[in-house]
Amino acid sequence: MEYVIGILLLLSFFGLVYYAVRGGNLMMGIFVMAIIWTVLPMLGNMLVKNPEFIAANADTIGISWKDALTKVFQSGPEGWGSTLVNVIFGAWFGRVLMKTGIASTLIRKVTELGGDKPQITCILLCIVTTACFSSVFGAGAVVAIGVIILPIFLSLGIPKTLATCAFMMSVGAGMFVNPVLYQQFSAFFLGEGGERLYTYEMHTSWGIYALLVQVAVVIVMVLLLSRKKKIHAWGAVTPADIRARRGESAPGIALITPVLPVILLILFKVPIILGFTIGSFYAYITCRQIKGWAQMCRMINKDFFDGVVDTAPLVGFLLILPMFNKSSELCVPYFNALLGGVIPNNTLILSIVFAVLAPLGMFRGPLTLFGCGAATLGILKGFGFAPAFLAPLIIIPSTVMNVSCCVTQSWIVWGVNYTKTTTKEFLKVSLVAGWIVCIIVQLMCWFMFGRA
């Protein structure tokens, strides 16, 4: 019986992949999956007879319908409330960087260093992008910075596919230490009492190197691919772009703002929401934006409002996703029964398998926590690996293949559309580059955490 349920679960999983690739609405797809992955194992729990199987999974199988439904549909989204709050503060901070002209000034200064040398300017801009997204999170910020940087890339004659890919992977590189993204990951590693088993220190201890590896791969990619023929295009851009680029210029001391929250967090353990708040006020003050109490209140109100609007498209998805994550925990015994024999429990083999199969992190596949990876993680947790090893193992493909490289990531969808790259062309470049990053970082993490 447990095998039948296992196979049905696996089939529904492939159904989701097929649905995602066909372009179905992911939020609803994942909601339906949460229902299927709750009902199937619960039915299984009522039907299984195998005493060994029951004894081995007594905890999971003994759960009542009421508890299961609460776990998936109530506690799941609630548990992500704190993540959502962080996302909103991050989006506010992103807005402040735009409004004060700090982002545009930084980009202009860097462009003025590189000039017409496409490779130098492109690489410098990629580094700035990574720095910005080490703190800032959200599609709104990616779009706001993208509309400044991408036209510069294109006017320098960089091919559009490379331009899009380099920019998106630079965003993704910053995400390796991004506290808001970390929050989302850490929600998968909570103890019985809800305490964090995977801390931000653990995350940055390897994340900072992963960031450097991804930046290095982007640089090599730019050097290799931009040697191709230069392109002069005549076209027009929607003028919102120019307006953003020509924002007021920010003073030199304000330009460290983008990395301020993450530096405060890493060096002084300042909680991230406070970090975002300090960063925002630092920006307001150094850019002389505060002119009086009433005006300040209005301004902060407005920026916060815009930040919330920026996150709005994501909220539904962010709150439905944990239902799916929680439901996958119910399925663990059945996946174990079906796949337990196939999955290696040696850390080196596991790291190699994750490196080789990294592309399965795309299209919300089994190696990304923003997709079906929650189930994979559930199975692996069953083997008793330490979070210090397990977390990087699955966070790597999630951050690289999904957040940096996949056309199901909201802001990449925007970028591909903005530069008119085809999905196929984009994936050809991003898949290879992302895969290389995954291989290097997986091996690095095995040396750091897997050799116990």
Partner 1 sequence: MIKLRETLARRLNRTQEVRHKSWPVREMVEQLTALSDAQFGQYAFLHEPLEGKFSAAQKEQYIQAANRCGQETAASWEARLSGGADCSESQPSRLLTKLAGQLGVTVQDETVPIGGGHVLFAQFVEPNRITIFRDCLERLDLLIRDEGLEDLFEGVDFRSVLLAHELFHAVEFAQKDRIYTQTEKVELWRKPFSNKSRILVLSEIAAMAFAKALCRLSFSPYALDVLLMYSYHADAACALYEEIMAAAGLPLTQETGEEPC
> What is the chain's alpha carbon radius of gyration, rounded to the nearest angstrom?
23
How many C-beta atoms surround the C-beta of residue 338 within 10 A?
19
Q: Any contact of residue 18 with partner 1 (CB under 8 A)?
A: no
Residues in 173-232 at the binding interface with Zn ion, rule: CB under 5 A:
232
Residue number with the shortest CB distance to Zn ion? 234
CA distance 203 to 186: 9
- Residue closer to Zn ion (CB basis): 158 or 283: 158
- Residue closer to partner 1 (CB basis): 27 or 190: 27
Q: Any contact of residue 234 with Zn ion (CB under 5 A)?
A: yes
Which partner from the list Zn ion, partner 1, none does 254 bind, CB cut-off 5 to 8 Å by kind? none
Contact present, 304 and 276 (Cβ < 8 Å): no
Residues in 215-234 at the binding interface with partner 1, rule: CB under 8 A:
229-234
Q: Is 196 helix (H, G, I), strand (E, B) or coil?
A: strand
Q: Any contact of residue 445 with partner 1 (CB under 8 A)?
A: no
Which partner from the list partner 1, Zn ion, none does 301 bind, CB cut-off 5 to 8 Å by kind? partner 1
CA distance 71 to 95: 35
As measured in angstroms, the least distance from the Cβ of 119 to partner 1 is 12
Which of residues 7, 11, 208, 309 is near partner 1 by CB under 8 A? 309
28: CB partners within 8 A, 6+ apart? none
Cα angle vertex 300, ends 294, 301, to 5°? 85
Residues in 232-271 at the binding interface with partner 1, rule: CB under 8 A:
232-243, 246, 249
Contact present, 117 and 70 (Cβ < 8 Å): no
As measured in angstroms, the least distance from the Cβ of 328 to Zn ion is 52
How many C-beta atoms surround the C-beta of residue 422 within 10 A?
12
As measured in angstroms, the least distance from the Cβ of 370 to partner 1 is 15
Q: Any contact of residue 235 with Zn ion (CB under 5 A)?
A: no
- 10 Å CB burial of residue 76 (0-12, 13-18, 19+) is buried
CA distance 215 to 169: 8
Q: Is 134 helix (H, G, I), strand (E, B) or coil?
A: coil
Q: Which of 270, 210, 254, 268 has the alpha carbon at shortest distance from 442?
A: 210
What is the pattern of x (binds partner 1, CB under 8 A) and - over residues 412-441?
Answer: -xx-xxxxx--x------------------
Which of residues 301, 339, 356, 447 is near partner 1 by CB under 8 A? 301
Q: Any contact of residue 94 with partner 1 (CB under 8 A)?
A: no
CA distance 5 to 331: 9
As measured in angstroms, the least distance from the Cβ of 235 to Zn ion is 9
Q: Rule CB under 8 A: which residues touch partner 1?
A: 21-26, 108, 111-117, 120-121, 139-140, 143-144, 147, 150-152, 154-156, 229-243, 246, 249, 298, 301-302, 305, 309-310, 313, 407-408, 410-411, 413-414, 416-420, 423
